[in-house]
Amino acid sequence: MGLEETDAQFGSERVLALIKRRGPQRATDVALALGITAEAARQQIVRLAGRELLAPRAQQHGRGRPAQAWDLTDAGHARFPDRHAEVTVRLIDAVRTAFGEAALDGLIAQRETETQRAYAAALRGATSLAARVGRLAAARTREGYMAEFERAPDGFVLIENHCPICAAAAACQGFCRSELDVFRAVLGDDVTVERTDHILAGARRCAYLIAPRKKAKPHAVDRRPRVGRTQDRR
């Protein structure tokens, strides 16, 4: 592979990763995000569309004709692989058939314990909520989730642009429940964690709203003197 071809391949991977993270993009959006010319962005998009990794999608921006954006095809999404998908699904089916649902739940619980221990170690020493969410995002990225986080009015949003265990999660949604439980455990009792987007529900990504837990207001004590005659109890 020559230098020019290598550069083109690297550019293509950057475009795919950008659209994976941000969703459908126009050529001008790609150029601005990657710091390249509009013509270079169009060349990359044409190359990827020719390989059936991208497909056009109309986007409406205000009045007038819809703009043409580009989104990943199924083949494009497949460039971000599900880890050992086929083997994993077969193993899940085999465990369920041979030992029942309870055994599968036990395996998920064991994975949950190990994952929680690893994340707790990664978050150790992080005192602020921003630091904790940042370290969790970094840990998830190392595992292939393409995770990032951003501020929200009530806290932070943890975003996972890819699910490397999607096939396993589709075969057994206990994996998704378990991951949510792990996030809640390692981020602490002083925060709430709610899933707001879910790939298995048809969303482009998984996202979690992480916010400080609201403290309950103390009940006011009525210290006003009681008015009225006290009746004798007989």
**pLDDT 10s digits, 130-189:** 999 999 999 999 999 999 999 999 999 999 999 988 888 999 989 999 999 999 999 999
Q: What is the CB-side half-sphere exposure of residue 185 using CA atoms within 13 A?
A: 16
Q: What is the CB-side half-sphere exposure of residue 43 using CA atoms within 13 A?
A: 9
Mark whether 64 and 155 lie in a shared domain: no
Mark whether 185 and 141 lie in a shared domain: yes
Q: What pLDDT, on the 0 to 100 scale, is given for residue 3?
A: 39
Mark whether 67 and 153 lie in a shared domain: no
pLDDT band at residue 74, thresholds of 50, 70 and 90? confident
Mark whether 97 and 207 lie in a shared domain: yes
Q: Which candidate, 199, 136, 191, places its Cα nearest to that of 164?
A: 199
Mean of pLDDT over the chain: 86
Structural domains counted in the chain: 2
Range of the domain at 41: 8-77
Q: Does 18 reside within a domain?
A: yes
Question: Long-range pairs for 121-125 at CB < 8 Å and ≥24 separation?
Answer: 123/186, 123/187
pLDDT band at residue 230, thresholds of 50, 70 and 90? very low
pLDDT of residue 202 exceeding 60: yes
Q: Does 231 reside within a domain?
A: no
pLDDT band at residue 105, thresholds of 50, 70 and 90? very high
Q: What pLDDT, on the 0 to 100 scale, is given for residue 233?
A: 45
Mark whether 93 and 73 lie in a shared domain: no
pLDDT of residue 232 exceeding 70: no
Mark whether 91 and 52 lie in a shared domain: no
- Burial (0-12, 13-18, 19+ Cβ within 10 Å), 17: middle
**Tally: H helices and E strands in the chain:** 9, 6
Would the pTM of this model clear 0.85, i.e. be above it? no
Q: Point out the domain boundary residue: 59, 77, 95.
A: 77
Q: Does 232 reside within a domain?
A: no
Q: Does 33 reside within a domain?
A: yes
pLDDT of residue 227 exceeding 70: no
Task: Give the CATH number for residue 171.
Answer: 3.30.1380
Q: Which candidate, 145, 132, 153, places its Cα nearest to that of 207?
A: 145
Could you tell me what percent of the chain has a pLDDT over 70?
84
Coil, helix or strand for 210? strand
Q: Does 177 reside within a domain?
A: yes
Q: Does 229 reside within a domain?
A: no
Mark whether 169 and 132 lie in a shared domain: yes
Task: Give the CATH number for residue 24.
Answer: 1.10.10.10
Q: Does 163 reside within a domain?
A: yes
Q: What pLDDT, on the 0 to 100 scale, is given for residue 197?
A: 97
